[in-house]
Structure 1
């Protein structure tokens, strides 16, 4: 028995690295994720960056390094903010954008969806990048190397 609907048709999505964002206390890599025929507009990307600038102080806790995935899901968008905390833990904050704008998704359930199969392309790369960082001297140069170490992009 499977939980995959018989009507489901899987499609590939494009993952691409964008310009990172530096905010008070945290530096984040940036990834866009979308179907090839449904790209992310500059206006949505700009709005996502603005919400991060406005909300970063309210994301608790947050580490000083991490990454963002701006994922177009049909006509909506998920802004997945991931930061490294407690040495080796990946912490997540998620915003949903629909016609009304970006809004924080609260996680009150005992079980919740985490990453979809496409987001895991970035997650797997970032896990390996973080391991390389943990084995480094973890100084300023290592931080810059982590931020420069991005998924090469492509169809997932």
Structure 2
């Protein structure tokens, strides 16, 4: 019977972790799952269940939680919006000079200007986006 109580406690702790996100309650849920498993298999006295719960919970908190937190915080950077366009190839659709022009980047037409103010890039020229300045792509001949 106490195995079901440990299982219920583990489920409640795991669900509560969804609202906190600090991984403490999840580690306690792991301890409760371990206690439920021990109680289901061997049916020891209640103090043994408590000892298993405490030992597994502390082990998870000390050994697993720091590693899990590190992995949660060190996600690879995902470039979004205009940051993702830097370094992308483009094709000149209207003559680009140091002031104005148009390029096609990944199917979208952008206003553009050349990095080199003296350069004039004719339509059909393949260029690389160096940066996005407002709504203008700054390009360089590829």
TM-score norm. by structure 2 comes to 0.28
Looking at secondary structure, tell me which structure has more helix per residue: 2
Looking at secondary structure, tell me which structure has more strand per residue: 1
The structure whose Rg is larger is: 2
